[in-house]
Every structure is written in C-alpha cells, then in structure tokens.
C-alpha cells in the first residue's frame, strides 16, 4: 500500500477515539499508543496507528520525528475566551457586574484603535499557542476593527478559530454602545468578510442579555436567519445578581435562557458560557435545542460566581466544553484549567477523571463547537492540530512522574501540577507554531 504523506511522527500518543453520551462510556474510547505513528499530509492527518503496523508504509530513508519520550495529544479547544481582556487578567476585588464596569469596559474601549487591536491579537494568539490551545471561540469587542485584527492574524497561521464582534446597545459606557441597525450592518459585513475563509468561523456575539435591548436581540435573530451556518456565543446565568437583573429587564420571559431562546438563539452551534444557576426548565431547553455549555472553572472561582454542576450536564445530556474565560479566568493554560475543574467537581462530590477532563478539553470541546468532524483527535482525515507535552519539567514533576505507573496517573499529574512549562511544541495545520524556547537547540 502506498501512502501520500509529508511528515512522519513516531511518539507516545493519547487521544479519545469517539464522542460519548455518558462518562462511563469513555473507558473504551481512551486511546493510548506509547509507540504510535502519525503521518501528516500537509495540514491533514493521513494515517494514525501503531508504529509496528505503520513502519511498513514508510519508504526507506524517511525522516521520522521521534516523540516517544513525550506525550502527544490533540490540540486543546478553548470554548470561551475574551482576547481584549488579556491585559486586565487578574483584576482585584469585584464580582461580575462590578468587575465589568471597573475593569473590563475601560480596557475594551481601546480596541477602536486598530494598531492596539493588532498588538493585543498577536500577543493573545501567541498565548494560546504557547499553552497548546489550537482552537478557540473568542469574544472581540464592539469594534469591527477588533475582529479584523484577530482574524487576519489567525488566518496567517491558518488556525481554526471562531470569533465575533460584541453586540451591545445598553448598560455600558457610551463609547462601547451601538444601535441595533449599526450592529446588524457591521456584523453582516464581518460575516461576509470572514466566515468560512480558510479555517475561520464567525460567531454572533451578543454580550449577554443585560446589555442587549429587545430590538438588538431581534437583529441578532435576523442575522441568524440570514446566516444559519454561523455560531452564536454569549453568557448565561453566571452570577446571581446578573440573573436577578435579567428577570427585572425581561419580566415577560420565563427565565434567563428563555430570552435567548425566544429570539431563536439556541441550537447546535450556540455556546453559552457559565450556566451556573440554571433552573430546571433551562437545563431542559439546552438539552432539547442541542445547545452547548462552556464550563469556565478558573473564572467561576475567581469572580466568586459559583460551582458548575458537571454531573448535571451529563445527566441532562448537554454538550460541554471547557473555557478559560480570560480575563475573568486566571490562565490561558488548559492543564491548569482542568485542575481547577477537578476541584470544582470535588466540592460537589463528583470525581472528574483525567480521561474525562482531557475529553472535555479536546474532542468533547470540538463537539460542543460542532467541529468534531474537523478536529479533536488523531483520526485520519482530521486537521493536524496537536501538542507535544513534556510530561515532567520540574524537580517536583520529575519525582512525581517517576512514581506514576499508569497513563491515567500521568494525565492527572499533568492537570494537577502542569502548566505552560509542560508545552514542548504546538502544531497547527501540520506546522510547528510554538517551540519551547529553552529547548530550541533540540529542534
């Protein structure tokens, strides 16, 4: 059999073979190949299997990259993040509504300046890649320039990235507000410019119900009808004061989610960040409409928002991915984010196993974004986005690693003790886009 490929990688691989409906179905899908072979054809996976079987496909003299002393996993998927908040990460003292007024809105106000947007976009994308995140669903600001800056740089890397212009027309400083008609026109132009270009996707991004008038939500609905293929990305039920405020602002609606649902904004490509204080009917609606949740543990703890009910999400069969939610979240790093997710679950007597955690951060997140046909594992035909982890980089990690017997222990150690130091290389579209600086001589 002859095989068309451009790059051969031998290594210690871990991924999840298929999506599951319940966590107890994950076991058979966890795929560990301590001596595997990954063949790339440009930006795609051409073949994945055991080295023993695949070596026969390689013509004599083929150059093979060897990662048998590393751990190669699919690129991480960050299902909720705000790029303009990069420079205000770790802002002290407030919960959601005060935090938005005091820290967030002033910083977002600067993104009308295209040069600033370009600088922060470049920094942001480097943070994603140096933390192993190869796909993200991203909030920009209300300014169209903020979206152009991010997408043009993601296009240069050929990243699979989804983003959108914030839509908001009330309850924020004047400079960040727009009219519903303006929001419609600018968003439509951005969709036409960017959606489906290379690997980019557009998400309609109404900030959250409190900053959207009914007239603006009607324009979001109009866009969704005109462009049924775009994503919808917003916040839902993060903070108790926020939930009470939505009840005041939209008294005719049954609950918070009903505001979005009423305007046709639920569905398979809709992602709702947080979902901490949902009523029964809201869980049901998420399930019935096949909408997705972005669980953002570091943000939820940092803003004191609450504890996400992971077990409930499984019970209700709602799709779920993990979000860093920078700048309310405190790290870009998915390993650290999974470690915090574990603690959130612990506080509610749910044991988040390492395999499950990595599922949420890779294939499960891809599915939450309706991208699991393209990314999320090493299946042949998928896009070649993956990360090479160094499983032990500090004396403490090395000691613990030496005392780890199973892959499960190694994965759990990584999510408990790991951080950006564990990133050795990141591949996007089959190319190395990040290389750990201290090890460049080994390239």
Question: What whole-number distance in Å separates Cα of residue 226 and Cα of residue 248?
Answer: 31
CA distances from 404 to 324, 355, 414 (A): 28, 15, 11
User: Whose Cβ is closer to ligand GUN: residue 8's or residue 96's?
Assistant: 96
Q: Which of 45, 79, 96, 220 binds ligand GUN (CB under 6 A)?
A: 96
CA distances from 320 to 5, 214, 239, 368, 373 (A): 34, 28, 19, 5, 16
The three-class DSSP label of residue 300 is helix
Question: What whole-number distance in Å separates Cα of residue 216 and Cα of residue 185?
Answer: 12
The conformation of residue 104, written as its DSSP 8-state character, comes to I
**Which H or E run includes 187?**
helix 180-194
Shortest reach from residue 206's CB to Zn ion, in Å: 12
User: Is 325 one of the binding residues for ligand GUN (CB under 6 A)?
Assistant: yes
Q: Which of 207, 309, 367, 425 binds ligand GUN (CB under 6 A)?
A: 207
- Residue nearest ligand GUN, Cβ-based: 328
One character per residue 147-186, x = contact with ligand GUN (rule: CB under 6 A): ----------------------------------------
User: Which neighbouring-strand residues pair with 39?
Assistant: 8, 47
- In this structure, what are the phi and psi dihedrals at residue 373, rounded to the nearest 5 degrees? -80, -15
Contacts of 357 (CB under 8 A, 6+ apart): 338, 341, 342, 411, 415
User: Is 269 one of the binding residues for ligand GUN (CB under 6 A)?
Assistant: no
Q: Which of 169, 238, 340, 429 binds ligand GUN (CB under 6 A)?
A: 238
Kindly state the tokens that stand for 227: 């462009």
Q: DSSP string covering 31-95, please?
A: EEEEEEEEEEETTEEEEEEEHHHHGGGSPTT--EEEEEEEEEEEPEEEEEEEGGGGGG-S--S--
CA distances from 266 to 202, 233, 246, 323 (A): 16, 10, 17, 19
Q: Which of 219, 299, 324, 362 binds ligand GUN (CB under 6 A)?
A: 299
User: Is 328 one of the binding residues for ligand GUN (CB under 6 A)?
Assistant: yes
Which does residue 238 touch among Zn ion, ligand GUN, none (CB within 5 to 8 A, set by kind)?
ligand GUN
User: Is 100 one of the binding residues for ligand GUN (CB under 6 A)?
Assistant: yes
User: Whose Cβ is closer to Zn ion: residue 102's or residue 185's?
Assistant: 102
Which does residue 100 touch among Zn ion, ligand GUN, none (CB within 5 to 8 A, set by kind)?
ligand GUN
- Residue nearest Zn ion, Cβ-based: 325
User: Whose Cβ is closer to ligand GUN: residue 104's or residue 221's?
Assistant: 104
Shortest reach from residue 202's CB to ligand GUN, in Å: 19
Query: CB under 6 A: which stretch of 96-104, 197-205, 347-355, 407-415 binds ligand GUN?
Result: 96-104
User: Is 425 one of the binding residues for ligand GUN (CB under 6 A)?
Assistant: no
Shortest reach from residue 256's CB to ligand GUN, in Å: 12
User: Is 220 one of the binding residues for ligand GUN (CB under 6 A)?
Assistant: no
User: Whose Cβ is closer to Zn ion: residue 15's or residue 78's?
Assistant: 78
Question: What whole-number distance in Å separates Cα of residue 250 and Cα of residue 335?
Answer: 38
Interface with ligand GUN by CB under 6 A: which residues? 82, 96, 100, 104, 207-208, 235, 238, 299, 325, 328
């Amino acid at each position: 059999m002859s095989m068309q490929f451009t790059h051969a990688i031998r290594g210690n691989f871990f991924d999840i073979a298929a999506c599951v409906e319940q966590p107890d179905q994950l076991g058979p899908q966890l795929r560990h190949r301590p001596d595997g072979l990954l063949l790339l054809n440009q930006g795609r996976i051409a073949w994945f299997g055991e080295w023993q079987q695949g070596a026969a496909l390689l013509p004599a003299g083929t150059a093979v990259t060897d990662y048998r002393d590393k751990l190669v996993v699919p690129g991480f998927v960050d299902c909720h993040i705000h790029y303009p908040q990069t420079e205000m990460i770790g802002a002290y003292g407030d919960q959601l509504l005060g935090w938005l007024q005091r820290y967030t809105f002033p910083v977002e106000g600067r993104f009308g300046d295209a040069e600033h947007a370009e600088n922060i976009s470049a920094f942001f994308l480097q943070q994603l890649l140096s933390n192993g995140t190869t796909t993200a669903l991203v909030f920009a600001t209300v300014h169209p320039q903020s979206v152009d800056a991010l997408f043009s740089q993601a296009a240069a890397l050929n990243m699979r990235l989804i983003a959108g212009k914030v839509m908001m027309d009330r309850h924020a400083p004047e400079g960040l507000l727009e009219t519903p008609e303006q929001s419609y026109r600018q968003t439509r132009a951005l969709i036409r410019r960017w959606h489906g270009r290379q690997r980019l996707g557009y998400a309609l991004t109404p900030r959250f119900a409190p900053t959207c008038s009914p007239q603006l939500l009607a324009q979001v609905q109009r866009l969704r009808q005109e462009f049924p293929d775009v994503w919808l990305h917003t916040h839902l039920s993060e903070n108790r004061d926020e939930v009470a405020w939505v009840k005041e602002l939209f008294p005719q609606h049954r609950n918070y989610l009903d505001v979005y649902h009423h305007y046709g904004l639920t569905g398979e490509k809709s992602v709702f960040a947080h979902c901490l204080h949902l009523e029964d009917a809201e869980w049901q609606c998420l399930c019935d409409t096949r909408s997705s949740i972005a669980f953002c543990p570091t943000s939820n703890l940092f803003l004191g928002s609450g504890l996400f009910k992971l077990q409930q999400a499984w019970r209700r069969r709602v799709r779920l991915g993990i979000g860093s939610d920078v700048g309310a979240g405190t790290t870009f790093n998915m390993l650290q984010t999974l470690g915090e997710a574990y603690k959130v679950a612990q506080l509610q007597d749910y044991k988040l196993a390492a395999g499950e955690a990595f599922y949420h951060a890779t294939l499960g997140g891809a599915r939450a974004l309706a991208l699991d046909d393209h990314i999320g594992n090493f299946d042949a035909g998928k896009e070649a986005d993956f990360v090479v982890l160094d499983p032990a980089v500090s004396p403490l990690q090395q000691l613990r690693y030496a005392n780890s017997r199973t892959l499960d222990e190694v994965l759990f150690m990584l999510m408990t003790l790991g951080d950006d130091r564990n990133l050795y290389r990141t591949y996007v579209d089959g190319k190395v886009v990040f290389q750990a600086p201290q090890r460049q001589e080994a390239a």
